[in-house]
Amino acid sequence: MGKILCILYSGGEAAEQEPRLLGTIENQLGLTDWLKEAGHEFVVSDDKEGPDSEFQKHIVDAEILITTPFHPGYLTRDLIEKAKNLKICITAGVGSDHIDLNAAVEKGIEVLEVSGSNVVSVAEHVVMSILLLVRNFVPAHEMIERGDWQVSQVARNAFDLEGKVVGTIGAGRIGYRVLQRLKPFDCKELLYYDYAALPEKAAQEVGCRRVADLKDFVSQCDVVAVNCPLHEGTKGLVNAELLKHFKKGAWLVNTARGAICDKDAVAAALKSGQINGYAGDVWNVQPAPKDHAWRTMKNPLGGGNGMVPHYSGTTLDAQARYAAGAKEILENYLHDKPQNPANVIVGKKGYETKAYGQRTMSLLTPSESIAFN
């Protein structure tokens, strides 16, 4: 029986006290007893960086890799070359950009994720982040903790979401749910930019409009939310050039992947006031180094930063769903049963989703038509 390697984050004391923190090395996605009883070698570690890490040591003979976007084992092309026994990578969550997907396609390694498992969790976080930026919440709360009380200092940069134009880059499962949740806020308009058009009925239900050109799209938005996967077509998509086309003082929320937004360009745009706020939970490197500019960057009024560690998609509710989903994928693989097509990113014969780039597809599965469901 092949080796199963699982890279998760260390949950420490919190994970010992809270067994529902399933995505940790302590609680091991709830898989340990089941796998050990079945006689599998199950290696779990949080040690993932560098050639001497447990990840790089075990990947050379592992058959199955399970990892999570919250503490990803970065499976580069180089490591894929070394991983001679690797057959399947399972992402416990959504977002498989930590794997070189093109290299996986070439080597016939399957990549599956637990599609939909945390999309509501993230959509709620996006709506919260939009509100906390627009309403200037963080500086107002910090003022209270400091013992101060100066309403005008925070009210001078606080607005209503009502009447604003909000747009999402990517209108898949999360982006669409964000639009659905924003509908009752009576925004001036809801926009989306995506190479895949929403079905007409879905667009009508939320009353959103598609904008085909990205510069044109951002120039119309008061708030831009990034909800597309990271792939070669979206890395650095929000860069210094695109930020120039944003409305001055717009707010930007990114819970998709840190590297979709250029780190230095975003920090500079916030500092200059070109954007009024930036919020999200995803970073170009995770864990983010202590001196990462996004930890402390501010707008000219000393606010506009809504950054948190990567946790929007790992609420306890989400963890229950993605742990169950990862187990189901594993079970299907081990018992040679068909996988749910919606979970397949790379199948035995190549890409089975269009979400990770506009490729010519020889294989189209039902997952394409249900991406926004």
Binding mask 293-312 for ligand NAI (x = CB under 6 A): -----------------x-x
Q: Which of 72, 73, 229, 306 binds ligand NAI (CB under 6 A)?
A: 229
Residue 361, φ and ψ in degrees, nearest 5: -105, 125
Find, among 311, 312, 255, 260, the residue nearest to 284 by Cα. Answer: 260
In this complex, which beta carbon is closest to ligand NAI, that of residue 154 or of residue 178? 178
Find, among 189, 213, 217, the residue nearest to 203 by Cα. Answer: 189
CB of 106 to ligand NAI, least distance (A): 21
In this complex, which beta carbon is closest to ligand NAI, that of residue 35 or of residue 228? 228
Residue 178 neighbours by CB under 8 Å, 6+ apart: 123, 126, 127, 168, 225, 227
CB of 75 to ligand NAI, least distance (A): 15
Beta strand extents in 41-176 (DSSP E only):
41-45, 62-67, 88-91, 110-113, 165-169
Q: Which of 31, 86, 94, 265 binds ligand NAI (CB under 6 A)?
A: 94
In this complex, which beta carbon is closest to ligand NAI, that of residue 257 or of residue 327? 257
Q: Is 171 in the site for ligand NAI (CB under 6 A)?
A: yes
Respond yes or no: is residue 210 known to be catalytic.
no
* Chain-centre distance for alpha carbon 285: 13
In this complex, which beta carbon is closest to ligand NAI, that of residue 153 or of residue 219? 219
CB of 231 to ligand NAI, least distance (A): 6
How many angstroms separate the first and last alpha carbons of the chain? 37
Residue 141 neighbours by CB under 8 Å, 6+ apart: none
Binding mask 310-349 for ligand NAI (x = CB under 6 A): x-xx------------------------------------
Beta strand extents in 8-135 (DSSP E only):
41-45, 62-67, 88-91, 110-113
Residue 123 neighbours by CB under 8 Å, 6+ apart: 174, 177, 178, 180, 181
Q: Is 195 in the site for ligand NAI (CB under 6 A)?
A: yes
In this complex, which beta carbon is closest to ligand NAI, that of residue 43 or of residue 196? 196
> Which residues lie near ligand NAI (CB under 6 A)?
93-95, 118-119, 122, 169-175, 193-196, 227-230, 233-234, 255-257, 281-282, 310, 312-313, 355, 371
Active site residues: 118, 257, 286, 310
